[in-house]
Chain A
Amino acid sequence: MRLFVSIISTRAETVYCICIVETSDPVAKLAVKAVKLTKTYGSKVAVDELDMEVKSGEIFGLLGPNGAGKTTTGGMITTRVLPTSGQVYVGGVDVVKHPAEAKLEIGVVPQSNTLDRSLNVIQNLYFHGRYFGMSRKQSKQVALDLLERFKLADRQSLPVSALSGGMAQRLMVARAIMHTPAVLVLDEPTSGLDPQSRLALWDILQELNSDGQSVLLTTHNMEEADGLCDRIAIMDHGKILALGSSAELKRDLGGTSSLVMKVSGDVRQLIQKLMVEISTDSMTKIVPSDDGLKIVGHDVAQLISIAVTSAEALSLKVYDLSLVEPSLETVFINLTGRELRD
């Protein structure tokens, strides 16, 4: 069940309109739905018949290299780019047909700092609230609450130019969620941030998400997609190549993982023993490596105890053991044949 709070303020009073949408309606669970969404610039196809759904309450990541069409997709979802064809809905509102209404459902954190330089920190929030129909009093109160929550309260009267990159980013997130949008859209939110600010932003997004905020973010940062997103769409050349949770993508498309074991003593003996212990099929291989051996296969993690026990049985000393899991990087390489680089 989803709860919408619509704030309609008139000169005299503020009316809170609370609407409940039943879970039985499948569309209500969607924060974003794109149907055959396409954008062409001349002969160049930036986004190619893209179908996509962001479920309500999830963090959805669009992962891909620069030029994959992520930002254009984000632009079309947020009314800033007009699709050449296809439909896109945010919170159930048709973005192309009713952009003004759709904007009520969209919170945007763009790639660059778009804070209003003519206003100070709190005014950036206060006027945003006013644009979205809040009364003066209400907007001021919500702005103060958000500054407190985003740890910017002591900087409320500063010009925005006095904020660090991380602080400016936090203020932009606060601004974007101020009008309780159905989806928070962030374009490459952590590019250009120092590691500390990056982690802080991830914490903020996770906290917002645990309060029910749906999030759509574009990124070319593997770690970000991996650690933050419930589901990831890998995108290249304007198309979604694969979609799933990080674990699903790695399992299905990441290729093999390997168990690297370093031992002192006769490695060949151990390899022979393991060949017997592990019913090696064509998918699992045991190969000698520097100071030890490597077991390569699809689910080698379950072989850790057998490998260690076998080594001990032969009185070999295991001094290093590491599991190299498939990564989103390997998923991407397997999908496109090239690396995911900045």
Chain B
Amino acid sequence: MKETMSQVVVRDRSVSLLMYARVIFALLGRDLAVLKKTAAFFVIRVIMQPFLFVFVFTYVFPKIGQGVGGGGSKEVEFSTLLVAGVVGISIIFQAIQAVALPLVQEFGFTKEIEDRALAPMPAWGLAVEKILSGAIQAIFAGIVVFPIVLFVPATAVHLQINWILLITLVPLAAIVSGTLGLTIGTWIPPTQVPLIFAIIVLPITFLGAVYYPWASLTPIPWLKDIVLVNPLVYINEGLRAALTTGVPHMNMTYVYIALLVFTILLGAVSIKGLQKRVVG
């Protein structure tokens, strides 16, 4: 009977992968159309956190004589090392927001993900699209942050950009963040997603080597080891290497390996999570 069936298949299967790529492209088009509609909100969402960060730590504190990292050249150093941290935190935070939060609604009561889940491609295709969509928004977020971290601080910021590191790390960081967002969005029950900000997003951002280089945690060895499970540590260490000189950073080989491992691991977990959600 199966032979009989296969004769009736009229659409060419050999174009499958190309077809999936086209569907993913169309889905990204949908996400960008939605983003364009809400561009003003997106910019506000992206700017607020890094702006407040940089404003309080590198403008207000030095002005009121509570400079972080001591006075004089130490303040300059802090403003400089914070750049990488703020770019990194914006990337990871925006990717999680862009991927996980819409899924709360789409998987929840409205089930509006369904039309996209019924697009002609396997469930993993939708997962890949969500990760890419989150990554693109995260890269936007990272780029938007640069002018803020350069011009808001009261003290001068001295960046020494290593373009090769920057151009390879930002997309990698964005993709890792997208997989993290999708993992959260697919494995945490929709009603519990607000909770993830308390138990996942806050620890990741507060203990993500944002305000200090990872090496400076040496006096607290247990914390120095524990934070290695945090992908933001590698993102920020890598970005610090890409943006500054003279600030200690982790060996770049470890940074790339760790980010690739996180991509594969979280990618697989999130694809599995999405499959579970769209196919009962």
Q: Are A101 and B8 in contact (CB under 8 A)?
A: no
Given contacts A25-B8, A27-B8, contact A127 B118 (CB under 8 A): no
Closest A residue by C-beta to B37? A118
The secondary structure that dominates the A interface is mixed
User: With A6-B10, A8-B15, A131-B26 known to touch, is A81 a contact of B279 (CB < 8 Å)?
Assistant: yes
Q: Is the CB of A25 within 8 A of B34?
A: no
* B111 contacts A131, C-beta separation under 8 Å: no
The answer to whether the Cβ of A132 comes within 8 Å of any Cβ in the partner chain is yes
Given that A89-B5, A104-B120 are known contacts, is A114 also in contact with B110, CB under 8 Å in the complex? yes
The answer, yes or no, to whether B158 is at the interface (CB within 8 Å) is no
- A94 within 8 A of partner (CB): yes
Does B115 contact A175, Cβ atoms closer than 8 Å?
Answer: yes
CB distance from B184 to the nearest CB of A (A): 20
Q: Does any Cβ of B come within 8 Å of A284's Cβ?
A: no
Say yes or no: A133 contacts B118, CB within 8 Å.
no
**Bound-state Cα–Cα, A276 to B116, Å:** 69
Question: Would A128 and B280 be within 8 Å (CB), given that A6-B11, A100-B122, A104-B120 are in contact?
Answer: no
A-B contact count (CB 8 A): 123
Alpha-carbon separation in the docked complex, A100 to B121 (Å): 4
The residues of A that contact B37 with a CB separation of less than 8 Å are 118
Contact B120 A92 (CB under 8 A): no
Contact-residue size bin, chain B (C-beta under 8 Å from the other chain) = 35 or more
Confirm or deny: A130 has a beta carbon within 8 angstroms of a beta carbon on chain B: yes
- Residues of B contacting A89 with CB < 8 Å? 5
Partner of B20 from A100, A112, A118 at Cβ < 8 Å: A100
Q: Which residues of A contact B10 (CB under 8 A)?
A: 4, 6, 17, 19, 21, 91-92
User: What mask results when residues 1 to 45 of chain B are scored 1 for a CB within 8 Å of chain A, else 0?
Assistant: 110111111111101100110110011011001100100000000
**How far, in whole Å, are A116 and B125 apart by their CA atoms in the complex?**
19
A-B contact pairs, 15 of them (CB 8 A): A28-B8, A80-B278, A99-B122, A100-B122, A100-B125, A101-B16, A103-B119, A104-B120, A106-B118, A116-B115, A117-B105, A118-B34, A130-B30, A131-B23, A131-B116
Q: Which residues of B pack against A, CB within 8 Å? A: 1-2, 4-13, 15-16, 19-20, 22-23, 26-27, 29-30, 33-34, 37, 102, 105, 110-112, 114-122, 125, 278-280
Given contacts A80-B279, A116-B30, 20 further A-B contacts (CB under 8 A): A27-B4, A82-B280, A92-B5, A93-B8, A98-B9, A100-B122, A103-B120, A103-B121, A106-B118, A110-B111, A114-B111, A115-B115, A116-B112, A116-B116, A117-B105, A127-B29, A127-B33, A131-B27, A131-B119, A132-B119
